[in-house]
Structure 1
Amino acid sequence: MARTADIAARRPHYQRLLAAGTGRFFRPPRTTCPWCASDRLRHRLRSRDHVQNKPGTFVLDECRDCGHIFQNPQLTSEGLDFYYGDFYDGLGGESTAKMFAGRGSVKRFRHSARALRAHASPRRWLDVGTSHGHFCATAKEELQDTEFHGLDIGESVELAVKEGRIAAAYRGQFTLLAEELAGRYDTVSMFHYLEHTLTPRGELVAARTALRPGGHLLIEVPNPESPLGRFFRGRWMPWFQPQHLHFVPIGNLCRELERLGFTVVSARRRGNQHIPVDLACATWFWAARAMPKEDAPWLARRPGRAAVAARWAVALAALPPLLAAYGIDLLLAPLVRRTSLSNAYRVIARRGPDNTLHNTPHDTPDGRGN
């Protein structure tokens, strides 16, 4: 009942936002690649919001020259606020926190901490896009002498301090806070963060600024070159529209890091950074298309009893294939992790001295070079 009341209280706000439609949530479409400026673009796929079921259609385009995949048209700042609303905080905060605290996430976090530990023993570590700080809490078990700090734009990072998962919190945009943090950290991590950002290159520059010379940057992101992305199309969870704005191929990322004066010490498309949810999520997204929508404040009205009953009936019918799909994901995970099918990659790079930066144009908020 409390959730029903909370949804009802938020409904007028969402209805005001949607009164004029969703058009203003998008920038004008680009005609050039935001990574290499090529005009040789092609449509990769169309998708809807499969997770929150907010209104809108989202397009991913691919550059034929460098392989960069990006949302086009891209969300504006107002659009990002709308589509992020009630996911990491608010209505969705509790369920998102539970997801990050789950056994699979904890196991993956532990592997990530060990991957960095093979190259360094950091004294101070900044986790960018930390959300509720669950990675830091897990990594602390592997690196007991390391002090973990977190940065995020939502209130979750402040809750992470109160709950003891991180020692310090920064709330805001990394690119705007980087100068304040200059040279403070031995390690900066970005776990499934870079794909959410408006200017990936700017985020890499911010990481370089926050690191001391010799410090390490650890990045894990979706692997846009995985064949699973083509097979599942819009129902491939790593596309995660509308939140994921940019998908950088591993070669592009490594070359950019080297341009910024980093030395790439590890670049792995195959490994334990793979998240075994591809078939299960695609199955759920497929079943959800047949379901009446769940009550949410962005719906004009609360679904009636018949719609609620129909939703439960479809969900129960979908449960056996969903469990089977999840079982297949887990069964095949050891094999998938050893192949190009892996849905994520990991890069670890060591920052060089200040005089190693090679000055070439960076992307700007609209994705165009200076």
Structure 2
Amino acid sequence: MFNMHESCPLCHSVQIELFHEYPSFSLISCKDCDLVFRPHLDQLNAIEIVTDIYDADWVAMRNQYAKKTFTEHAIFNILLLEMWCPAKGKLLEIGPGTGEMLYLAREAGWQVIGVEPSPASCAYAHDRYGLQLIHSLWDASVLDEELKGSFDAIVFWHVLEHISNPKQYLEELKEFLKPGGKILFSVPNKKSFTNELLGVYSPLYTESDHLFHYSRNNLQSLLQQGAWQVLTIFSREETNRLESHLQKITGLTDLPLTDIMRLSVMLQSAFQGHEIFCIATQQSQNTTMNEQEVNNADEETQADSFHGCEK
């Protein structure tokens, strides 16, 4: 159950309604900004959630699909990193899981550091890839003071939806970026074809550790409120996942490849891909001032128009 007086953590609207009641938790929705989130976020025990879900069985599953993790996720993420940060340098990954992307980044020449809350994942990453991850939930205090202002890039793939206070989290990251450094991240897309197809019983909604469900507009609003400049934002649809969903719905196992590829591209173009990817950097003071000048100019134009109407 949720308190009818609860407000949206993003836009502070009190226009909140129940999204769906699940057996062990509920989701609520903001009518104004379309954000879907868990109620009573300040009362959630993040350590308990991580321990319950990201255990030895989860790591065993990740090990079984390690090749898929590399080919469908880690390599793509490294490509984005290399495109936006070609000079390489120092990389922080928050929530690296079993470490595939961080391993590839290290092999590509990056100096890497990872912070991972799952002890089973930390052990796997060490044994399999020789990675010494910092075992902890994200907290700015887990990194040495000397690391502030040292990272060329900070990445967190499918992590932001697990963070109970995203505004504070994004603010803390600024302390550790170099001037001009970038954040690269992904989140599940609330407007995805997966959610459209499966409704409130989509696996994106039924996973209890997904505290927020973002769409493009409210994600951009979150970043804008934190004075981040969005460099690019796009949605991505994995073709293997799409094919699996279509097979479950239609019962057909021999769907034409061209139809699957065409639908995948259409979904990405319509921003209905399974994931949202975003690359952003801190707004410079000049950017902020220029935006303020534009806002002031807009206000003056509106005022002139108003006085013109009075005449």
Is 1:59 the counterpart of 2:26? The answer is: yes
- 1:329 deviation in Å? 6.5
The 2-side partners of 1:179 and 1:27 are apart by: 36
Code of the aligned partner of 2:267: V
1:353 positional shift? 5.7
Q: CA deviation at 1:103?
A: 2.3
Q: Which residue in 2 is equivalent to 1:53?
A: none
Partner deviation per Cα, 1:58-107 (whole Å, 9 max, x = no partner): 322211111111023558444x45544353223332113433x2326533
For 2:270, the equivalent position in structure 1 comes to 339
The reply on whether 1:154 has 2:124 as its aligned counterpart is: no
SS in 1 for 2:233: strand
For 1:110, the equivalent position in structure 2 comes to 75
Q: Helix, strand or coil for the counterpart of 2:280?
A: strand
* 2:167 corresponds to: 201
TM-aligned CA distance change 1:336 to 1:96, over 3 Å: same
The percent of aligned pairs where both chains have the same amino acid is: 19
The Cα offsets for residues 145-178 of structure 1, whole Å up to 9 and x where unpaired, read as 2122211111123442343353x42222323436
- Indicate the structure whose relative CO is greater, using CA pairs within 8 Å and at least 6 residues apart: 1
Take 1:169 and 1:104, find their aligned partners in 2: how far apart are those partners?
18
- 1:222 counterpart residue number: 188
Q: Distance in 2 between matches of 1:34 and 1:258?
A: 14
CA distance in 1, matches of 2:287, 2:143: 18
What is aligned with 1:173?
137
What CA deviation, in whole Å up to 9, does each residue of 1:233-265 have, x standing for no partner?
133222242110012332333343344343221
Instruction: Assess if the C-alpha contact under 8 Å between 1:280 and 1:322 holds in 2.
Output: no
Change (3 A) 1:165 1:106: farther
Distance 1:222 1:184, change over 3 A: same
1:71 paired residue among 6, 29, 38: 38
Which residues of structure 1 form unaligned runs of 5+?
Answer: 1-25, 48-55, 287-319, 359-370
Given the alignment, which residue of 206, 213, 221 partners 2:179?
Answer: 213
Inter-partner Cα distance in structure 1 for 2:48 and 2:260: 32
User: Any idea what the Cα deviations from partners look like across 1:97-155, whole Å, max 9, x if unmatched?
Assistant: 433x23265333212221222221321111111111112223445xx221222111111
Could you tell me how far apart the structure 1 residues matched to 2:49 and 2:152 are?
34
Amino acid at match of 1:102: K
Amino acid at match of 1:66: C
SS in 2 for 1:277: helix
SS in 1 for 2:113: strand
CA distance 1:217–1:42, shift in 2 (3 Å): same
Is the CA contact 1:194–1:221 (under 8 Å) kept in the aligned structure 2?
Answer: yes
Q: CA deviation at 1:204?
A: 0.9
Alpha-carbon distance in structure 2 between the residues aligned to 1:90 and 1:27? 33
Equivalences for 1:5-16 in 2 at 5 Å?
none
The AA in structure 2 aligned to 1:71 is R
Structure 1 residues 135 and 45: alpha-carbon distance in aligned structure 2, compared to 1, 3 A threshold = same
Tell me if structure 1 keeps the 8 A contact 2:95–2:157: yes
SS state at 1:337 partner: helix
Call closer, same or farther: CA 1:71–1:230 in 2, change over 3 Å.
farther
| Contact kept in structure 2, 1:153 and 1:172, CA below 8 Å | yes
Indicate the SS of the match to 1:118. Answer: helix
Give 5+ residue unaligned stretches, structure 2. 290-311
Matches of 2:110 and 2:98 in 1, distance apart?
A: 18
CA shift, 1:208, in A, is 1.5
Looking at structure 1, the residues matched to 101 and 38 of structure 2 have their Cα atoms a distance apart, in angstroms, of: 27
Letter in 2 for 1:339: A
**TM-score (normalizing by structure 2):** 0.76
Counterpart AA for 1:113? I
**Within 5 A, what are the aligned runs for 1:345-360?**
345-352=276-283
Please give the per-residue CA displacement for 1:37-59, whole angstroms capped at 9, x wherever unaligned. Answer: 11111222344xxxxxxxx3332
How many residues align? The count is 284
Q: CA RMSD in A?
A: 3.5
Tell me the secondary structure at the aligned position of residue 133 of structure 2.
strand
Q: Counterparts in 2 of 1:36-51, with a 5 A limit?
A: 36-47=11-22
Helix, strand or coil at the partner of 1:131 = coil
CA contact (8 A) 2:167 2:226 kept: no
Equivalent residue of 1:135, what SS? helix
Instruction: Tell me the CA shift for residue 27 of structure 1.
Output: 8.0
Shift of 1:342: 0.6
